[in-house]
Structure 1
């Protein structure tokens, strides 16, 4: 079953951000755009390249009013240790959620039960707590922060402009479409 247009399920967990441990819950996301960026595990191979890519583009996400939450089934303690040891992870300024209970991974249906790890899943949640974007890739396929930014801009545009949609490869400032009977068969 798709999670598109479903509500974010309740959660509460410990996280690492800005050199500190913090608590984060679904209530903290109300009224904000959020990205849940699941990855299999700390101290691995593709994961640090993806998290570094997000870190390198974090200012752009912030300009759009989007908060990033990376999530693995590791603890917030492991996130801190990885942050302290890895030059790539040291760049991270966004929140790193721990999910040792596996609840958040199950909520987003990305848990690989037999491994106790999360799939590579990206979820964009709107300010109303509704999931607008879902992307899940195989473990060996890294994601691209710039493409995620493009998709978020499209989601935000559609959210702010009911009755309009963004065509394939749409970029900010380009023409959108207003679905109607007149367009059927003409695109």
Structure 2
């Protein structure tokens, strides 16, 4: 599995970026959002139970990521057509403000090292700095959803470029080396 300090792998994937007829899909790459931090989170597959709770929460909190100059990208092994069908049919996913990447050939999940032996992506989250370097990785068991508050807290800490103690939150003092 790729880890902190590794470069996020190159990719070129179809993504659902809109529900507007004729403009639903776009090809995105690792260079599609230059100069931005990225939060890339993977889920096992569409039309499941835990996944939409996570995806919807990232969607509801997207403005907080934008306030931190961060682009959220979600991905699973499903096709862009399946992503579109799920977005259209699930009320919590209809108005997602971030792209859903289709890692159909499992290239991204394999390059990241988060492809489960059952052929689906693990529930993984990567925070990537503007230079394309992975600064945080977390992977949950397939049965446990992730915590978007913790992703935001970790992003805030990384963006201070200072020493942040346990349970540090934005606005609190960082550690000073004497």
TM-score (norm 2): 0.93
SS across alignment from 2:32 = helix
RMSD (CA atoms): 1.2
Of 168, 171, 175, the residue aligned with 2:169 is 171
Of 121, 132, 144, the residue aligned with 1:118 is 121
- What displacement does 1:128 show? 0.4
Q: Deviations over 1:60-83 (max 9, x none)?
A: 111111111101000111100000
Does the CA contact (< 8 Å) of 1:30 and 1:129 recur in 2? Answer: no
SS across alignment from 1:81 = helix
Unpaired runs of at least 5, structure 1: 159-163, 183-187
Unpaired runs of at least 5, structure 2: none
**Structure 1 residues 15 and 2 mapped into 2: Cα distance closer, same or farther (>3 Å)?**
closer
The structure 1 segments of at least 4 consecutive aligned residues displaced by more than 6 Å after TM superposition are none
Whether 1:151 aligns to 2:175 is no
Relative to its length, the structure with more helix (as a share) is 1
**Distance in 1 separating the partners of 2:166 and 2:144:** 22
Does the CA contact (< 8 Å) of 1:52 and 1:91 recur in 2? Answer: no
Paired positions, count: 174
Give the structure 2 partner of residue 28 of structure 1. Answer: 32
Does the CA contact (< 8 Å) of 1:29 and 1:129 recur in 2? Answer: no
- What displacement does 1:2 show? 5.0
**Structure 1 residues 132 and 140 mapped into 2: Cα distance closer, same or farther (>3 Å)?**
same
